[in-house]
């Protein structure tokens, strides 16, 4: 078990995953959680990051900082997605090792897997085929982070582990229609259509692709579980093991929001990968399972959206 007074640094603590990690750690009685936002510590600044690690000496690091976005943002800014993510993760992982952290958890993404990986996707699918072109830059950065953690484990016996979460949603998600992911974008579209008393909402693609969704509070629970129970440099998938079509998701969201208009499908927009479901056998066998069903999670997220974004 982890000591509640151990110093845990969550890199990217204001993001979707980072904020959920802080909520979870605080709820479980962890008291030593140094928080640094960008104005206090730029994670791309090598000297600043090294200085922070030397002075604060965290025992555990959870790397949840990343420049993220949907298909459009990834497609429009590949240079930024590659350079910014590589720079930040290289800086933090190296400083963590040099300052002697006891354990580091690197959070990757399910987009690291090949576009045509077997479904559900086992951890062994990594680097067995070409990536989905629309988020290749982000995926390459994340793969480099995994490989760097594995290199530290091999060369220095560092206890650096990596977890690959599926599509996440929940409080503090990005609800900007230009840059958000599908669940948050649909939630906002349905809410605004309801407010305007619109007859329909337009959804990208055909509605046929299938996606897996995990509430961010569940991923935070999985991270704590892995910090306590898992010490292998081999990657581990984090998901719920079930998927849903984008059409079913849109209908579920409209139901939760109370929008009773029609769904119109814009077939000129890309669908992305036809299916993306993680094989979570490994994590299940370790003894972890999620606790928040999709509908409940969407209800909670809409409640948060109404209090924090819609107003």
Active site residues: 138
Which residue in 162, 47, 147, 153 sits closest to 97, CA to CA?
153
Contacts of 302 (CB under 8 A, 6+ apart): 187, 191, 256, 257
C-alpha 182/C-alpha 276 separation (Å) is 13
Cβ-based burial of 151 (10 A; exposed 0-12, middle 13-18, buried ≥19): middle
Q: What are phi and psi of 132, to 5 degrees?
A: -65, 120
Here the tokens at position 156 are 């220095």
Here the tokens at position 69 are 């976005």
């Amino acid at each position: 078990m982890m000591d509640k007074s151990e110093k845990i640094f969550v890199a990217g603590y204001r993001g979707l995953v980072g904020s959920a990690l802080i909520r979870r750690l605080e709820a479980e009685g962890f008291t030593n959680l140094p928080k640094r936002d960008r104005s206090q510590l730029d994670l791309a600044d090598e000297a600043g990051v090294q200085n922070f690690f030397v002075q604060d000496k965290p025992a555990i690091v959870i790397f949840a900082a990343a420049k993220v976005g949907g298909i459009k943002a990834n497609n429009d800014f590949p240079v930024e997605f590659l350079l910014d993510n590589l720079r930040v993760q290289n800086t933090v992982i190296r400083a963590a090792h040099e300052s002697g952290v006891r354990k580091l958890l690197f959070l990757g993404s399910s987009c690291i897997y090949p576009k045509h990986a077997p479904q559900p996707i086992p951890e062994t699918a990594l680097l067995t085929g070409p990536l989905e072109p629309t988020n290749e830059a982000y995926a390459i950065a994340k793969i480099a982070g995994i490989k760097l953690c594995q290199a530290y484990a091999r060369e220095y016996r560092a206890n650096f582990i990596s977890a690959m979460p599926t599509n996440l949603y929940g409080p503090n998600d990005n609800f900007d229609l230009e840059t958000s992911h599908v669940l948050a974008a649909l939630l906002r579209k349905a809410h605004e259509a309801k407010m305007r008393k619109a007859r329909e909402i337009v959804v990208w693609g055909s509605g046929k692709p299938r996606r897996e969704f995990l509430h961010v509070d569940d991923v935070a629970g999985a991270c704590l579980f892995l910090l306590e129970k898992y010490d292998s440099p081999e990657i581990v998938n984090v998901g719920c093991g079930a998927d849903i079509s984008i059409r079913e998701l849109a209908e579920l969201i409209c139901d939760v929001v109370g929008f009773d208009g029609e769904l119109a499908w814009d077939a000129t927009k890309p669908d992305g990968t036809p299916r993306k479901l993680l094989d979570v056998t490994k994590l299940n066998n370790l003894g972890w399972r999620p606790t928040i069903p999709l509908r409940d999670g969407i209800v909670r997220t809409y409640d948060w959206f109404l209090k924090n974004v819609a107003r």
